[in-house]
Amino acid sequence: MHNSYLRVEGVEKRFKQHTALKNVSFDIRKNEFVCLLGPSGCGKTTLLRIIAGLEEPDAGRIFAGGKDITALPPAKRNFGIVFQSYALFPNLTALQNIEFGLRARKYEKKRIKEKAMEALALVELLHVKDKYPAQLSGGMQQRVSLARAIALEPDFLLLDEPLSALDAKVREKLRNEIRSVQEKLGITTIMVTHDQEEALTMADRIFVMDQAEIKQAGTPQEIYHKPNQPFVADFIGSMNFLNESMETAIRPEHVVVEEGKGTAAVIEAIEFKGPVYRVKVRMTEAASKFYNQQIIIDLSAYAAKEINLERGNVISISLPESRLLDFKEQVVS
Ligand code: ATP
């Protein structure tokens, strides 16, 4: 890639008999926010640790800003890291925690405090600078960790499941905050997550991983609308697979329900999910090539008003050709 800021080239990692990473290669541009997304055990954390220098690859190279950093120890890589577990010193205040990291950089004492205060201001925590970690909520502790990482003005920010220990509301708020700090500073960021919604809302690009490999790399829209294989299609969002070989699929929100058009299906279950109704139907028309197939449909409240939503009722559904995903013709990477 022309303007690669971080390049991972042919990285391999084994732990005894277990392959954690298989020939992983990619480029990341300056200022990009990339999420490594995948199920537990797929190798996300191992990849992040190799980039940080905390783990040695068995093969392959890492380049940062064009320089080969494969052999550099973590301290020489200028990466800021935030872990799931905050990793703050309990006996130091929020401000002191940030100052601690800066001391290793040999700034003047006054400058250290200034920089720590600036970082705290950026995460909007100046008012709790003298509090100890135990006096702060989980979300606040994680913001202190973030401030500590960015105070060092790293070239890269590496986030390892930073939000997964927090409850849903705080998590959502922090998503926006992390993204806004990242954009303000223009800092190239890689975040590990197994939460697809987090990846879809935060990332410029998502690398979907499974079984030690990157299966697809693309924008959230590409990953959602043009998954390159059944695994990606199934892992992100909900998907109806229309035959046993999983070659044809359609998203629940793309199924059309229109009286008198399409084929007959009987409603088997209705679930109210707030913005949509999730309706499970079974195709009942013997002539249909999807006869007896169960299909999930997401209907907006508006669309739901048009039909008689009741278990046992027969409705007409159609699966628009333009919305069908066909994995037969795609080259699986
Ligand atoms: P999770 O979301 O559960 O953290 P992950 O995608 O981050 O999963 P990794 O932590 O990278 O996965 O682990 C990938 C595989 O390598 C797993 O099967 C794990 O058990 C194994 N593994 C990771 N670190 C070690 C190690 N130090 N020794 C042995 N096996 C390891």
pLDDT tens digits, residue range 97-130?
A: 999 989 888 888 899 999 999 999 999 999 999 9
Ligand 1 centroid to 252 CA: how many Å? 33
Structure tokens, 96: 């002191």
Cα separation, 205 vs 203, in Å, equals 5
d(C-alpha 55, C-alpha 48), whole Å: 9
Any atom of ligand 1 within 6 Å of the Cβ of 157: no
Q: Closest Cα to atom 20, ligand 1: which residue?
A: 41
Q: Which whole number is the average pLDDT over 141-157? A: 93
Q: What local confidence, expressed as pLDDT, does residue 133 receive?
A: 95
Ligand 1 pocket test, candidate residues 15, 24, 192, 213, most atoms within 8 A of CB? 15
For strands 59-64 and 256-257, give the pairing.
unpaired
Amino acid 2: pLDDT: 56
Atom of ligand 1 nearest to the CA of 45: 7
Q: How many helices (H) and strands (E) does the chain have?
A: 9, 18
46 lines ligand 1 (CB under 6 A): yes
Ligand 1 pocket: which of 37, 44, 192 to mutate (most atoms within 8 A of CB): 44
Task: Read off the pLDDT of residues 213-251 as tens digits, 9 standing for 90 and up.
Answer: 999 999 999 999 999 999 999 999 999 998 777 789 999
Contact 60, 24 (CB under 8 A): yes
Sheet holding 188-193: strands in order across? 79-83, 156-160, 188-193, 33-37, 205-210, 213-218
Q: Quick check: CB of 143 below 6 Å from ligand 1? A: no
What is the tens place of the pLDDT at every residue in 247-297? 899 999 999 998 888 899 999 999 999 989 999 999 999 888 889 999 999
Contact 215, 26 (CB under 8 A): no
Q: In the sheet that 325-326 helps form, which strands lie side by side, from edge to edge?
A: 240-241, 248-250, 325-326
pTM of the predicted protein model: 0.91
Q: What pLDDT, on a 0 to 100 scale, did the predictor assign at position 266?
A: 96
Give alpha helix (H) positions in 32-125.
44-52, 94-103, 109-122
pLDDT exceeds cutoff 60 at 331: no
